[in-house]
Structure 1
Amino acid sequence: MSTTVAVTANGVPVNASWEDLVTSALLGTDRRPLRAEDGAPVGPGELLDTAALHTVRRRAALRPATGAALPEPAPADPRPPLPAAARRRLAQLLADRSAPPSGGRRGAAPDLTELIPQWLASAGAHGYRAPAELLPALLDAARARTDLRPHVLAFAGPRGLWLAGLNPEWRFALRASSRGPQRPGIEDPEAVRRLWEEGLFAERVALLGAVREQDPGAARALLAGTWATERAEDRLMFLDSLRSGLSGADEAFLEEALADRSRNVRTTAAELLSALPNSALARRMAARATTCVNPDRAGGAVSVAVEAPHECDAAMQRDGVVPVPPSGRGERSWWLGQLVEATPLGVWRERFDGRTAQELVMLPVADGWAGELHAAWCRAAVRQRDPDWARALLGAPSTPLANGPGTASLAERSKLLATLPSSERALWVAGFIAAHGLSEAFQLLGVCSVPWEGPLGRAVVDALDIARDAGSYPWSFSGVMGLAERCLNPAEADRLAVLTTTPDEPEGASPGAGGYWSEAFQRLVSTLRLRAAMDAELAQDGAE
């Protein structure tokens, strides 16, 4: 709106449009002066008075607007509030997260950003609710870091989801939560059916997962009802939800999925069926595998004879065998590995006269097939969650990687470790570190429960101390040091204080390495003490 008005500023009539006033204010009255009716220039004060009068006239001509509808009130959260000290700590952690990075050396101060996940997990374990005034900062943190989302959404609770519904930038919370505000309970089958048929994809995935948790059969029936009309990529995501609560009752549905037009869907269905030892697919794969792998009793000693498949027929492909190998792999070894991987491990005990997994993996394998066979057994042990086979394939932690009974792949070994109880897992990794050091242990440490149990924590610290004494820089161990800051038991802080001093540099050491190690250990000790303080604050009585 561009109108010229005649108003009086301090008794001086001024003819000016709103655009003239803005331009003069931006450029200054010296460069773009306003003039009264008699031609005299108008100063800055008169300009502001004129603008104020002009604003009143503009507003007087507006019609009253209709007020926006208020949102529904936030739902109640019955969980107890945070202790005051813990609330202040959370505010500090979130404020540090939004601070710009300092760059350069980390120094001896703890990295508060890396402590947020642990703080959230501890607060969730205590059952506290999030402070209302910190919900926006929590949702912003979760938007920036996907690894925080499960803990943030659990901690934020129903009020966090309510708030997320009011800001499009936090919409991820509604997609990620299977308990979003729009999800009906399974006791209302009509509402469930309507959301399943009409909801957005993310809502349907969340709904299917939630129903599966409470009633696996109802979730399977829900999926079967619309299976034929779903897109291939959606069928794959939906099928993956059956991993939770997988049982023999799912077999018929999965068998039908073996004929799906999507190869990825067929492969996933076959993988799920092979995890059911009594399924028809598992029996079919076992029949194929036992024509390829058999005991050889020639000369009185038992060994393993292997004759890999010569073709991948249509029936094998229907059962999930991928016919084309990756680059660098031979076809026959590729097919053999898939057959053995999908065969119930109990079959081999029967086939080899009741031998245990430990005895089976120690048998010699003919014609250089040991690596392929053992790698397939490793994948089968992971898929079937078999700790006996995992122990046998891992072998003793002190055994050199190249000479172990299973596979030299640390990625495969970490998966095998994940099938073992946490205490046994920690002891095995501690033994591995004692024998081989830290350079190969990073992936293995990632599957150990937090906080690390005593033997594992001591093994890590001892290995770091040995590396320091060797006189090298600590850069190569920064990943392990970062894990130690998050995973060591905070009670170890006092015992580690002796390592914060700067040692004498041995002959041939890297210049200044001792000072860098001292700084790294100072940061480790400070972080452990801060974690202990955080735990104490969360355990305090008294609320916000």
Structure 2
Amino acid sequence: MNGAPSGGDSTAPDSAWEELVTAALLGTDRRAPARLTPGRTAPAALLDAAAVMTVRRRAGLRPARAAQRPEPAPGDPRPALPAPAAHRLTTLLADRSGGAGSGRRGSSPDLMELLPQWLATANAHGYAAPPQALPALLDAARGRTDLRPAALAFAGPRALWLARLNADWRFALRAAPGGGAALPDAEEPEAVRRLWQEGLFAERAALLGALRARTPALGRELLASTWATERAEDRLMFLDTLRTGLSDADESFLEQALGDRSRNVRATAAELLSALPGSALAARMAVRATACVALDRTGNAPAITVEAPPECDTGMERDGVVATPPAGRGERSWWLAQLVEAAPLAGWRGRLGGRTAEEIVALPVADDWQGELHAAWCRAAVRQRDAAWSRALLGPPSAPEAGGPGAVSLAERAKLLASLEPAERAAWVAGFIATHGLSEAFQLLGVCAVPWAPPLGQAVVDALNIARDAGSYPWSFSGVMGLAERCLDPAEAVRLEALLAIPDEREDFAPGAGGYWAEAFQRLVTTLRLRAAMTRELAPPAPPTESPQAATPPAEPPRAAAQPPDAAG
């Protein structure tokens, strides 16, 4: 390629690239390339230079003076991808169309939106990434942060090797535990101690996270050994790692952290303790909260009465209650909410006449305290992952969209749903869609397990069919349609085939809406079939099985009678 800068060009690579970009933006008539090869026009010389510079930028190492060669790339012991799956990966990575969030998208699938699911399946099977796909995989992960965890897990150790050689991929080192450094195992106590004492913050945080995932007690003991000398911001980050493997064994350490100098550290310690229903802090919060809430039997029917705390004393502050409320919030209601959401939900049964969670939530609450009390119970149910209370606060799926008995918003309902088992979660959302349609269901669908269970998938398809029959454009349902492409069971493609025809349009239909809906359903069906093909391609080959006939040695044929040597002649 003529006119391109040579490997010995003294111009810094970044500045040379900026010059090319500027010339391309302004046009070669206004700014010609810095170097022109005789016989080449300015546009051709610009394209030549850009081609060479692109190769240089994508290479693992930019041209430079001779230096020590990099260490060879590490091996990857994982099994190789099946050939069809490797070809599919190349196709997915080559697509850069990126489906629009709204408006007309056409009938072609958005391949980049299939990449996360492909990566999840490949990682579940434990495959290694093809070496030739690593640059494109790292480029895709650089452009989309949501892809990074799965992409880097699939790319394996060679991605970190490449990232050390190309600044464009340094994000992989930042995302890797300890910046990609190898972490010592729990069975190497001296190496663990040395890294904890001498390592960089990222290495120490990665070490603590790894220990908490495998041996929570060892991670806690390591943190306790240097707790008093850590900086406040580091104490907060380290304390947050205790969420992994959190148990009653952590209570003593967390109780000590309640006396920390940093308010943020104290608040985090209190939150972790409140997630342990058997902790002393939870018991203290229960005493305070139940003192504010009582059952009134003097009226025609039992009701809940609320008397918010008159002050926020030092004990409450030590246990994580923030004294100053946000702007526009009353102090006493703010303190009450914090007490109730930190109190164990199991204690309300005894306080409120032995009633179940569902019966408690159904009780009227005097003096307009119901919204505040129920919202605090919602946060407690989410924090404690209490399915019975979550179920009670959600109410039936036919409840008004604004919220069930306790949920104050659809976002709150989505958090409560996460406490339920996947099958129950899907059934509840299916009932919600059957009652309210799809316009309010997007947040709820996002917490359902993938692929969607058959009742939920059927509810979504039925609701899309109803929306099509209403005669509006499909673009207002683009978010749900995008979720359906990623989350519907591919088996639903058979049911969707009946929706591919363009329906007869009534006079009150939006112009051309039927064609747009047919286009959207065609894209959905094609995407589901692609997902089914991806699953087949990624499936490990079945081990060979011996047929019953092969398992039994064949009978030895009868031997022919001996003949003289010349008898066959």
TM-score (ref. length: structure 1): 0.85
How far, CA to CA, are the matches of 1:253 and 1:305 in structure 2? 36
How far, CA to CA, are the matches of 1:248 and 1:103 in structure 2? 48
AA aligned opposite 1:528? L
1:209, distance to aligned residue in structure 2 (A)? 0.6
Q: Do residues 536 (structure 1) and 536 (structure 2) align?
A: yes
AA aligned opposite 1:343? A
How far, CA to CA, are the matches of 2:74 and 2:38 in structure 1? 53
Bigger shift: residues 272-281 or 324-333: 324-333
Bigger shift: residues 354-363 or 134-143: 134-143
How far, CA to CA, are the matches of 1:318 and 1:121 in structure 2? 43
* Residue in structure 1 matched with residue 173 of structure 2 by the alignment: 174
Q: Do residues 443 (structure 1) and 443 (structure 2) align?
A: yes
How far, CA to CA, are the matches of 2:497 and 2:99 in structure 1? 30
The 3 A distance-change label for structure 1 pair 26 and 97 is closer
AA aligned opposite 1:223? L
The 3 A distance-change label for structure 1 pair 185 and 174 is farther
Paired residue secondary structure (1:92): helix
1:188, distance to aligned residue in structure 2 (A)? 1.6
AA aligned opposite 1:432? F
AA aligned opposite 2:358? Q
Bigger shift: residues 133-142 or 274-283: 133-142
AA aligned opposite 2:186? I
1:447, distance to aligned residue in structure 2 (A)? 0.3
How far, CA to CA, are the matches of 2:503 and 2:231 in structure 1? 63
| 1:250-265 paired onto structure 2 within 5 Å | 250-265=250-265
1:326, distance to aligned residue in structure 2 (A)? 1.8
Paired residue secondary structure (2:96): helix
The 3 A distance-change label for structure 1 pair 140 and 399 is same
| 1:8-47 paired onto structure 2 within 5 Å | 26=36
* Residue in structure 2 matched with residue 200 of structure 1 by the alignment: 200
* Residue in structure 1 matched with residue 322 of structure 2 by the alignment: 322
TM-score (ref. length: structure 2): 0.81
The 3 A distance-change label for structure 1 pair 88 and 426 is same
1:435, distance to aligned residue in structure 2 (A)? 0.5
8 Å CA contact 1:501–1:518 kept in 2: the answer is yes
How far, CA to CA, are the matches of 1:301 and 1:102 in structure 2? 51
8 Å CA contact 1:161–1:181 kept in 2: the answer is no
| 1:110-121 paired onto structure 2 within 5 Å | 110-121=109-120
Q: What CA RMSD, in Å, does the superposition of the two structures yield over aligned residues?
A: 2.6
8 Å CA contact 1:401–1:407 kept in 2: the answer is no
Q: Do residues 212 (structure 1) and 207 (structure 2) align?
A: no
Post-superposition Cα deviations, 1:429-471, rounded to whole Å, max 9, x if no partner, equal 0000001111111100000000001000111111111111111
1:402, distance to aligned residue in structure 2 (A)? 4.8
* Residue in structure 1 matched with residue 554 of structure 2 by the alignment: none
* Residue in structure 2 matched with residue 453 of structure 1 by the alignment: 453
| 1:287-326 paired onto structure 2 within 5 Å | 287-299=287-299, 301-326=301-326
How far, CA to CA, are the matches of 1:27 and 1:87 in structure 2? 41
1:420, distance to aligned residue in structure 2 (A)? 0.4
The 3 A distance-change label for structure 1 pair 403 and 276 is closer
8 Å CA contact 1:175–1:203 kept in 2: the answer is no
Bigger shift: residues 347-356 or 103-112: 103-112
Bigger shift: residues 303-312 or 162-171: 162-171
How far, CA to CA, are the matches of 1:24 and 1:462 in structure 2? 62
1:403, distance to aligned residue in structure 2 (A)? 6.9
1:232, distance to aligned residue in structure 2 (A)? 2.6
How far, CA to CA, are the matches of 2:114 and 2:447 in structure 1? 19
Paired residue secondary structure (2:171): helix
* Residue in structure 1 matched with residue 527 of structure 2 by the alignment: 527
Bigger shift: residues 391-400 or 253-262: 253-262
Identity of aligned residues (%): 72
| 1:18-97 paired onto structure 2 within 5 Å | 26=36, 67-97=66-96
8 Å CA contact 2:401–2:440 kept in 1: the answer is no
The 3 A distance-change label for structure 1 pair 100 and 391 is closer
Bigger shift: residues 281-290 or 508-517: 508-517
1:234, distance to aligned residue in structure 2 (A)? 2.2
* Residue in structure 2 matched with residue 343 of structure 1 by the alignment: 343
How far, CA to CA, are the matches of 1:489 and 1:345 in structure 2? 37
How far, CA to CA, are the matches of 1:318 and 1:505 in structure 2? 66
AA aligned opposite 1:521? F
* Residue in structure 2 matched with residue 470 of structure 1 by the alignment: 470
Bigger shift: residues 102-111 or 452-461: 102-111
8 Å CA contact 1:503–1:514 kept in 2: the answer is yes
- Ranges in structure 2 where 5+ consecutive residues have no aligned partner: 1-32, 40-63, 543-569
Tell me which structure has the larger Cα radius of gyration.
1
8 Å CA contact 1:259–1:318 kept in 2: the answer is yes
1:26, distance to aligned residue in structure 2 (A)? 4.7
Q: Do residues 497 (structure 1) and 501 (structure 2) align?
A: no
Post-superposition Cα deviations, 1:506-538, rounded to whole Å, max 9, x if no partner, equal 232211111111111111111111111111111
Q: Do residues 365 (structure 1) and 365 (structure 2) align?
A: yes
AA aligned opposite 2:525? V
How far, CA to CA, are the matches of 1:68 and 1:152 in structure 2? 31
1:313, distance to aligned residue in structure 2 (A)? 1.6
1:105, distance to aligned residue in structure 2 (A)? 3.5
AA aligned opposite 1:95? A
1:117, distance to aligned residue in structure 2 (A)? 0.3
* Residue in structure 2 matched with residue 281 of structure 1 by the alignment: 281
AA aligned opposite 1:140? D
Paired residue secondary structure (2:193): helix
Paired residue secondary structure (2:239): helix
Structure with more contact order per residue of length (Cα contacts < 8 Å, sep ≥ 6):
1
How far, CA to CA, are the matches of 2:407 and 2:413 in structure 1? 7
The 3 A distance-change label for structure 1 pair 464 and 181 is same
* Residue in structure 2 matched with residue 164 of structure 1 by the alignment: 163
1:135, distance to aligned residue in structure 2 (A)? 1.4
1:541, distance to aligned residue in structure 2 (A)? 3.2
Deviating above 4 A after TM superposition, structure 1's stretches of 4 or more consecutive aligned residues are: 23-29, 98-104
